[in-house]
Amino acid sequence: MTTFTLEPLTAADGEFRLEVYRATIKPYIDDLFDWDDATQERIILDQLGAGTHAAIVVVGQRVGVLQVEESPEILSLSQIEILPAFQGRGIGTAVVRSLMARGDREGKSLTLHVFRANVSARRLYERLGFVIAAEDGPVTVMTYAP
C-alpha cells in the first residue's frame, strides 16, 4: 500500500491548491459551463479558509489535495484530487481506504460525490465497495457503510 501523509492547507497554499484544481477538475467544469479563472480562484481560496483541506504528500512531495468534512454520523469526502503525473500509482486508493478504515472504527458512513464523466474514479469507488446513492445531474453520490 502507498504510504502518504497529510499536511493542512491554509490560504497561503492557494497557488498549490489552484494548480491541483486546474489539473484535475477543470476538464469537468469546462464540460458543464465555461471555466472562469477569477470565479474558480475565489471559490478555491474561500474553501481554504474552512480549514478542511490537506495536501496529500508522498515521499516528501505534494501530489494532491484532500478535503474531508464530518458530522457525528458521516464522513464526507468532499474532494480528492491527485495530480495527473501521480495518478494510477495507488495513492487515491490508499487515501480512500484510510478514510474507510476510519469510518469503520468510528461507525460512520463515508459519502462522496464524483462527476459522472469521471469513469475511472467511479470504477475505483465501486471496486472499494461504494454504492450509488443518487444521481444528481452531472454528479453521482456514492456511499460506503461500515
Residues 61-94: tens digit of each pLDDT? 999 999 999 999 999 998 999 999 999 999 999 9
- pLDDT, tens digit (0-9, with 9 covering 90-100), for 40-63: 788 888 888 778 899 999 999 999
Separation between Cα atoms, residue 71 and residue 77, nearest integer Å = 12
What is the value of pTM for the model shown?
A: 0.89
The answer on pLDDT for 33 being more than 80 is: no
Q: Which residues contact 91 (CB under 8 A, 6 or more apart)?
A: 2, 4, 56, 58, 63, 64, 82
The CA-based angle 110-111-113, given to 5 degrees, is 150
Ordered structural domains, the chain, with CATH: 5-144 (3.40.630.30)
